[in-house]
Amino acid sequence: MSEDETVANLVSKILDELGEDVDREGLERTPERVAKALRYLTSGYGKDAKEILNGAMFVEDYDEMVIVKDIDFSSLCEHHLLPFIGKCHVAYLPGRKIVGLSKIPRLVEMFSRRLQVQERLTTQIASTINEVLQPRGVAVVMEAVHLCMLMRGVEKQNSKAITSAMLGSFRDRPETRAEFMDLIKSSRGLQI
């Protein structure tokens, strides 16, 4: 039996325990679809951050802030297996190396495709960039809506969680942190 078949069988058991008829028309293929969806939503476990970043690192004489903002992400809350969805903003101050801009969203994607809490997700992104690039500083801000807060528990429809990780110059220099925060708050500007 494959891993996906095992997960599908377990989903069938859960549906049965919830009082559903897993053989009814609308549910007959649901266990397989859920197994496939869960495999995709947790596909980040099979990826290596250094492999994502190492292929696109370059020595460059550039010492100003590099920001990639408004990176869409979605993840699964490890407490309820419900989604949280939002935007990630990443900045770094290069030391000697820069990284291809598309690698930053790929790194966000890799860590978000795991069972997560937003606080750890934020820290993992910042720590990995710091470790691999060895910049003078890294900043990550994540803002997300958590379905576990909207659909259950407190049921607060307009709540958003914001987390940050500031390393190096972003932690030590308030003016650097303030510049980053101002830049990520600025309007969308360029529209293609």
Those residues whose C-beta lies under 8 Å from the C-beta of residue 161, and which sit 6 or more positions away, are 84, 86, 118, 143, 144, 145, 146, 149
**3-state class (DSSP) for residue 32:** helix
Q: What is the pLDDT of residues 1-15, one digit of tens each?
A: 888 899 999 999 999
Residue 89 known to be catalytic: no
User: Would you state the pLDDT for residue 4?
Assistant: 81
User: Would you state the pLDDT for residue 88?
Assistant: 98
Residue of 118, 155, 175, 179 with catalytic role: 118
Q: What is the pLDDT of residues 47-87, one digit of tens each?
A: 999 889 888 899 999 999 999 999 999 999 999 999 999 99
User: Would you state the pLDDT for residue 192?
Assistant: 47
Q: Is the pLDDT of residue 22 over 70?
A: yes
Residue 77 known to be catalytic: yes
Residue 88 known to be catalytic: no
Q: How many CB atoms lie within 10 A of CB 15?
A: 17
**What contacts 24+ positions apart, CB below 8 Å, involve 79-84?**
79/117, 79/148, 80/148, 80/152, 81/115, 82/146, 82/147, 82/148, 82/151, 82/152, 83/147, 84/116, 84/118, 84/144, 84/145, 84/146, 84/147, 84/148, 84/161
Report all structural domains of the chain as residue ranges with CATH numbers, in order of start. 3-41 (1.10.286.10), 49-185 (3.30.1130.10)
Residue of 5, 28, 78, 131 with catalytic role: 78
Q: What is the pLDDT of residues 144-181, one digit of tens each?
A: 999 988 887 776 777 899 999 999 999 999 999 999 99
User: Would you state the pLDDT for residue 188?
Assistant: 57
Residue of 28, 60, 79, 131 with catalytic role: 79
Q: What is the pLDDT of residues 81-139, one digit of tens each?
A: 999 999 999 999 999 999 999 999 999 999 999 999 999 999 999 999 999 999 999 99
Q: Which two tokens stand for residue 99?
A: 């990284």
Residue 148 known to be catalytic: yes
Residue of 77, 88, 89, 116 with catalytic role: 77
Over residues 16-37, the mean pLDDT reads 95
Residue 80 known to be catalytic: yes
Q: First vs last Cα of the chain: how many Å apart?
A: 48
Residue of 80, 134, 143, 179 with catalytic role: 80
